[in-house]
Structure 1
Amino acid sequence: MRPVTLGDWLKHAMARYKKTGVALGQVATNAHDEALYLLLRTLALPLDSDPSVLKRKLTAAEIMAVENMLQRRLDKRIPAAYLTREAFLGEYRFYVDERVIIPRSYFLEIIPQQLDAWLPAPAKVKHVVDVCTGSGCLAILLAHHFPKAKVDAVDLSPDAIDVARINIKNHKLTRRVKLHESDVFDAVPKVKYDVILSNPPYEPSAHCDKLPAEFHNEPRMALDGGKDGLDIIRKLLRQARDRLQPHGVLLIEVGGLQRAMDKEFAALDLYWMHTADGSNCVCLIQAGRLRAWKG
């Protein structure tokens, strides 16, 4: 029986998600949430629509639009965020396209809930930086969290810089967030930061090769951290040593590399921040310990 209402199309979409076995995790972690999101966006309906919207009958033109969207998502494996040209971190919306990795980060919970406790005077933070900024999303979260601070946003990809510029403008932060096209700090003027934050490429190259098709649509350089995943992290640790204020902190999100990090950088006595799902994949290093490190 051909789907008629939005609710029918949601059930139809979920069945197709299951049949095709598409990869999730870039926008939502389950088929229901991603399919509903795409249906609402395709039909130009509010994301906070009342559940009664599921009884709405689709027009012939809307059915064509929905079929086209599902074909692109499920058959061509185009990530949902690239179809809608948007992604969310909490309450904040960001423009995204194939030039940048789709925003997803545990810093969404760590910045507002845990970061201030590691700073002597959070209200007086003057200068922070997001290294490997991609779409600029974490630099923007930092700017919102530290409303009096200057924020640097660093990325090696000129394409990513272009997308970040769009988001910085959309969030009306062009006066406070400065973009730098640079390999870590190579081309960034010497500044002492209160906070250095990074969600760098950390997937081992061999793991990148085996990722589902959806993730191959994302820029490889935003995912691939070299043979063991630590190439960019090693460089960041070396360069951050002289970039922090005495009271400053460095935070790095490392995915599944906790054990490798603890082994190689045992002398840094990494502190792993708690996350709600227990992954605890963001480490914190205080400036004094980093300066004393012999690595």
Structure 2
Amino acid sequence: MAELPAIAADDERLAVFTTIRDLFRYAVSRFNSADLAYGHGATNAFDEAAFIVLEGLKLPIDALDPFLDARLIRAERVRLLALIDARLATRKPAAYLLNRAYIQGVPFYVDERAIVPRSFIGELLFHGLVGPGAPIDEPSAVASALDLCAGGGSLAVLAARVFTNAMIDAVELSADALAVARRNVEEHDLADRVTLHQGDLFAPLGAKRYDLILANPPYVDAESLAAFPPEYAAEPRLAHAGGRDGLDIVRRILAEAGAHLTEEGALVCEVGRARARLEAAYPDLPFLWLDAEESEAEGEVFVLRARDLAPRGRRVRRG
């Protein structure tokens, strides 16, 4: 558990704030007055405060209203004040302070060894990627899947839940992040279906092929990386750095993925806001772009079929 600042026994806030409503209102006010950055599960001060209060008290994170007028014991007030103070003082994402993040309501352990899980692919697995009329119309037909650049293992866990007949491999370069992934795989009781590999992209996999490859690689360009606010800079740099234009790792995935897909397999890859650069670099590739409607993300995840990636003298435009 993240180390939190001490709250003095005579801190007047302990006497003034007695209910969840009090602490929630206080957190929203403080966050709004501070120069905080969001994007690790919440997009504004209201949602960030709700997450800290509810997760900090081990309450359902989607049910604030029923608890607003509940009176807090002293230990609960101390904990919430410490979390609020830590968010303001350290500028670390709330997920690191609470060692918890959620994708589509599924909980994941997280700490500073791995990026906070928030891939749009996680949303698309439940809304947009799988089902009648979607790129993957029959999830039971997926027998093998790969989570590439796995970080803390969230996509591997979600893939195992969606593709119930599939065996999952997950590859991550960072040994530290892989330790977080191992914990998540074990906590979700998936060690018999999810195999973790340490290594650089496809290197640890030999000639294995998959019906589905999910990839959320580093895709932040050098200029954006240099301008990161503290919240994003708190995450492992390796998980973000995509080179000068953000596409260094994506190019490697496109070059190698075809050799690791089954005949009818598909690559699903997240690239952030690099759509225009990617389409300009690969004018012959028929990218299918998916929109994550819940998070209002457009054109940040693409799908390519194995046949699209088969070598045919494709043109690749550089810089």
Give the structure-2-normalised TM-score: 0.87
Tell me, which stretches of 5 or more residues in structure 1 are unaligned? none
Tell me, which stretches of 5 or more residues in structure 2 are unaligned? 1-12
Pairwise CA distance, 1:152: 0.7
23, 39, 42: which is aligned to 2:56?
42
Which residue does 2:277 correspond to in 1? 260
Distance 2:42 2:26 in 1: 18
Distance 1:58 1:250, change over 3 A: same
Give the structure-1-normalised TM-score: 0.94
255, 267, 283: which is aligned to 1:238?
255
180, 199, 205: which is aligned to 1:188?
205
- Deviation per residue, 1:119-148 (Å, 9 max, x gap): 475422211101001010001111111111
Distance 1:278 1:156, change over 3 A: closer
The amino acid that maps onto 2:102 is F
The amino acid that maps onto 1:17 is F
Q: Tell me, yes or no, if structure 1 residue 155 matches structure 2 residue 169.
A: no
70, 93, 101: which is aligned to 2:84?
70
21, 30, 45: which is aligned to 1:7?
21
SS in 2 for 1:178: strand
| Contact 1:119–1:247 (CA under 8 A) maintained in structure 2 | no
Q: Tell me, yes or no, if structure 1 residue 83 matches structure 2 residue 100.
A: no
Pairwise CA distance, 1:279: 1.5
Which residue does 2:140 correspond to in 1? 123
- Deviation per residue, 1:251-285 (Å, 9 max, x gap): 11111000001000111121111331152211111
Which residue does 2:119 correspond to in 1? 105
Which residue does 2:309 correspond to in 1? 290
140, 143, 152: which is aligned to 1:135?
152
- Deviation per residue, 1:218-257 (Å, 9 max, x gap): 0000011111100110111111121111111111111100
Which residue does 1:167 correspond to in 2? 184
SS in 1 for 2:112: coil
SS in 2 for 1:280: strand
Which residue does 2:220 correspond to in 1? 203
Pairwise CA distance, 1:49: 4.9
The amino acid that maps onto 1:92 is V
SS in 1 for 2:192: coil
215, 220, 243: which is aligned to 2:237?
220
101, 106, 129: which is aligned to 1:114?
129
Q: Tell me, yes or no, if structure 1 residue 22 matches structure 2 residue 25.
A: no
21, 28, 31: which is aligned to 2:45?
31
| Contact 1:225–1:231 (CA under 8 A) maintained in structure 2 | yes
Distance 1:181 1:125 in 2: 24
Pairwise CA distance, 1:60: 3.5
Distance 2:306 2:97 in 1: 42
The amino acid that maps onto 2:238 is M
| Contact 2:54–2:64 (CA under 8 A) maintained in structure 1 | no
| Contact 2:91–2:230 (CA under 8 A) maintained in structure 1 | yes
| Contact 2:17–2:77 (CA under 8 A) maintained in structure 1 | no
Seq. identity, %: 37
- Aligned CA-pair RMSD: 1.8
Distance 2:64 2:276 in 1: 45
The amino acid that maps onto 2:88 is L
| Contact 1:120–1:247 (CA under 8 A) maintained in structure 2 | no
- Deviation per residue, 1:81-123 (Å, 9 max, x gap): 0111111011211110000111112112322332353347542
